[in-house]
Amino acid sequence: MRKKIVAGNWKMNTLLKEGMELARAVEKLENEKTSDALVIIAPPYTHLSKVKDMIENVRLSAQNCASEDSGAYTGEVSPAMLVSAGVEYVILGHSERRALFGEDNALLNKKVKLALSEGLKPIFCCGEVLEERESGKHFDIVKEQIEVGLEGLSAADMSQIVIAYEPVWAIGTGVVASPDQAQEMHHEIRGFLASMFDDKVAEDMSILYGGSCKPSNAAELFANPDVDGGLIGGAALKAEDFLGIVNAY
Ligand code: PGA
């Protein structure tokens, strides 16, 4: 049985005190949730070890990690450092990392492998930009992101991974994918995984939808058979909205 997951990507938002208050509020509401979805939060690096001390049921993710173990990489944070701070998941391949920081599929594959080798669970993001969808290339783009980004992994590795489909045109725009568009792509992704790995890997994979997901539209997205939860940006910055999405299950 695959897991239902709702993960909050805080991006570069909240100062430490605000972040701690938000984490405390999420933990409190998580304890009263009406759904069995796993709740994950991804605060900025600076908040991680403090937030770790404030949460019990809520799980902790980073938003990125380095592609190298240690050494002369000024400004980078390695997967082992994240694990040492109590982090369990790491978001990799977010479209903002791809577009603003030039992270390509090959680099992401290196990060995924290093993260897994340190025991971190990658939340691997994929998704097309608007022109790619309008020119009918969206399935090919997402397939390539998955084929290269998850290349060389075993079925055991795949059991530690979560996939997030985030159409770039829906991220932070208020334009949400329709439930049919989300279901269609999630179903395709499951098909790619079945051909790259096997049916069990495909069936067991939690595939989250991300992009302008809110309490008001989450239920119809999550009602689709291949949508196993959400990766939430803007609406994760208010505990009530975020848990509203969790409780939409
Ligand atoms: P959004 O962001 O919910 O603000 O659209 C989603 C994401 O970038 O993960």
Q: For 126-151, write each residue's pLDDT tens digit.
A: 999 999 999 999 999 999 999 999 99
Once rounded to an integer, what is the mean pLDDT over residues 199-214?
98
pLDDT score, position 1: 80
Alpha helices in the chain, H assignment, sequence order: 16-30, 48-54, 79-84, 95-100, 105-117, 130-134, 138-149, 155-158, 179-196, 199-204, 215-222, 239-246
**Euclidean distance between CA atoms 13 and 236, whole angstroms:** 10
Please identify which of the residues 96, 103, 166, 186 carries the catalytic annotation: 166
**Euclidean distance between CA atoms 162 and 92, whole angstroms:** 10
The chain-wide mean pLDDT, for the chain, equals 97
Answer yes or no: 94 catalytic. yes
Residue 78 has pLDDT above 90, yes or no: yes
Q: How confident is the model over 186-200, as pLDDT tens digits?
A: 999 999 999 999 999
Instruction: Enumerate domains of the chain plus CATH numbers.
Output: 5-246 (3.20.20.70)
Rounded to the nearest whole angstrom, what is the distance from the C-alpha of residue 174 to the centroid of ligand 1?
Answer: 9
* pTM: predicted TM-score of the whole model, two decimal places: 0.98
Which residues form ligand 1's pocket by a CB distance below 6 Å? 9, 166, 171-172, 210-213, 231-235
Which residues have a Cβ under 8 Å from the Cβ of 184 and sit 6 or more positions away?
A: none
Residue 121 has pLDDT above 90, yes or no: yes
Residue nearest (by alpha carbon) to ligand 1 atom 1: 233
Choosing from 171, 175, 221 the residue with most ligand 1 atoms within 8 A of its CB, the one to mutate for a pocket test is 171
